[in-house]
Amino acid sequence: MAKKKATQSFEESLLELQTLVERMESGNLSLEESLSDFEKGIRLTRECQQSLTDAEQKVQMLVEKDNKLETIPFDVDDK
């Protein structure tokens, strides 16, 4: 059975996306390399967007209770 790839942090994904963009903008890639990098970039963009959506939901779950901010646990797996 194949192992699942460990999920990258938002920052790692964003850095990798930036590196891909710089490689593609260099103009030194073959068509196949460009398409491969583009596909990977789309995947990374979606992962980053999901991370931002999850973070936004966590922030929205802040509630005020007895004049104190309290976080309500948010489980990403409950979606």
Residues 25-47 have pLDDT tens digits of 999 999 999 999 999 999 999 99
Q: Could you tell me the fold of the domain covering 10-78?
A: Helix Hairpins (1.10.287)
Task: Give pTM, 2 decimals.
Answer: 0.67
Long-range CB pairs of 49-58, under 8 A, 24+ apart, other chains included: 51/10, 51/13, 52/10, 55/10
Which whole number is the average pLDDT over 16-33? 95
pLDDT band at 3 (very low <50, low <70, confident <90, very high): very low
Q: Is 34 exposed, middle or buried (0-12, 13-18, 19+ CB in 10 A)?
A: middle
> Phi/psi zone of residue 29: left (φ > 0), alpha (ψ -120 to 50 degrees), beta?
beta
Q: How far apart are CA 39 and CA 41, in angstroms?
A: 5
